[in-house]
Amino acid sequence: ELVLTQSPGTLSLSPGERATLSCRARQSVSSTYLAWYQQKPGQAPRLLIYGASNRATGIPDRFSGSGSGTDFTLTISRLEPEDFAVYYCQQYGSSLTFGGGTKVEIK
């Protein structure tokens, strides 16, 4: 099983600040199959980024994804109040796995 490790576990920031979330894999992941999701309390996850760097339909351009190989990053350039949530990375290789999540909370 390909393990994805997300860091930090919790990120405490203020609206308007920049958020940088990390997703690391124990072995190389194809960028094509690396995605990011946002989940708010009581809701299903929502696809944000696919193919490591492509925004899904309707996702604001303050969200961006980057990385390759074993290191991937989700960046939120300026946090809006609605961005405080939990974020998960996901990969598909021989199987499908999610990272443990990063909670972005209001400082």
Q: What is the DSSP letter of 33?
A: G
Binding residues for other proteins, rule CB under 8 A, total: 25
Query: Do the beta carbons of residue 93 and residue 2 sit within 8 Å?
Result: yes
Q: Output the smallest distance, CB 51 to other proteins, in A.
A: 5
For residue 84, give the 3-state DSSP assignment.
Answer: coil
Residues across the chain: 107
Q: Output the smallest distance, CB 61 to other proteins, in A.
A: 19
Query: What count of other Cβ atoms lies within 10 Å of the Cβ of residue 49?
Result: 24
Interacting residue with other proteins among 75, 96, 106, 107 (CB under 8 A): 96
Binding of other proteins by 32 (CB under 8 A): yes
* CA-to-CA dists, residue 21 to 31, 102, 105, angstroms: 16, 7, 13
Binding of other proteins by 53 (CB under 8 A): no
Q: Choose the binding region for other proteins from 13-21, 41-49, 60-68, 76-84 (rule: CB under 8 A).
A: 41-49
- The rounded distance, in Å, linking the Cα atoms of 105 and 86 is 9
Interface ranges with other proteins (CB under 8 A)? 1, 32-33, 35, 37, 39, 43-47, 50-51, 54, 56, 88, 90, 92, 95-101
